[in-house]
Amino acid sequence: MNDDRKKAEDSEALPALPKYLSEALDLKLISQGAEALVYFSKAHPYLPATLSSDVIHNSPISPAGYILKFRPPKPYRHALLDAQLTKHRTLSEVRSLYKMMLAGVHVPMFVAVDPRQGLIWMENIDGPSLKKWIWGQEEEIEKKVSDEDSRLTMREQTVKPTLVAVGHEISKLHFMDMVHGDLTTSNLVLRRKDDGSLEPVIIDFGLSQQSTLPEDKAVDLYVLERAFISTHPMHAEEYITWLLEGYLAGFGQGKKTAKFKAREIMKKLEAVRLRGRKRSMVG
C-alpha cells in the first residue's frame, strides 16, 4: 500500500468534523488521542483574515495560528448520554482554561467554544515541548564539553532556570486549587518572549479538576516526576530537584497560608512516591 492511499484511508477512518468547519477552513490534524482530535489552523474562527497589523496586535488574533480540539461522538455510547458527556467535558475544560487565564497562569488563550459539537478553539503556542527542548539542550551540551562536571555546570546555566520557571508556573496552578490531571513534559510548552527568555505554558486541561486536597496536587507532581524519569533518565534527579525548587519558591508568592499548604503537598508527595516504589517492587 502506497503512502498516499494509506493517508486517504486513515483520513476516512477519522470521525467527521462539523461541515461548517471542514468546508470553510484549512485544518491540519496534528494529534489523535482516545478522547479528542487536535487540529491546527491559521484562520481565526470568526474574525476576518484581512485585518491591519495594529488590529491584530490588540486583538485575540494569534500570529502563530490556532488549535482546534474536537471531541468526536463515541458510537459505543448511547447518543443522548454521549452528547451530555461531550458537552459537560468540553465546558469543564473551558472553565478551567478561562479561570487559569484570569489568575495569570500561562495557558493558551481561549478563543471560542461549541460545547454541543465538542469543539474548543484556542491559541497555538509557538514553541517546543519541555521534553523536546531538554533533549536539544542535552545534545548540545554533550557536543560542547566532554567531562561531566562541565556538563553539570552548563545544565545549571541553561536548563535549571527554565525548570525553576516551570515549577513556579505549576505552583500557581496548584495554589488556585486546580489539578491538571496529566502533567507531563509534553503538556508543558516553552514560548520565547520578546527579551529572548523562555516562558513555560501549560496546555491540555482535558483531565483537569478543582481540588483542595494536597494528595491530588502531589499526584500531579508525581506524574511529572515519572515523565522526567522516563524521558530524561540520566539527569532526572537534578531536573526534579530544580523544578521543585521553583515550585516551593513560587507557591502562594508569600501569602500566609502558602508555606503550610506547600509543606502538606511535599509530605503527600513522599507518600505517593513510596506507594509508587512499592507498586514497582510488587509488579
The catalytic residue positions are 182
- DSSP at 191: E
114 forms bridges with which residues in the sheet?
A: 119
Give just the sign of the alpha carbon dihedral 191, 70, 230, 281: positive
Nearest of 105, 119, 106, 104 to residue 21 by alpha carbon: 119
37 forms bridges with which residues in the sheet?
A: 32, 70
Q: Give the chain's radius of gyration (CA, Å).
A: 21
Run of H or E including 56: helix 53-57
* Helix 148-175 vs helix 214-231: crossing angle, to nearest 10: 150
Which positions ≥6 away from 56 have C-beta within 8 Å? 63
- Helices and strands (H and E) in the chain: how many: 9, 9
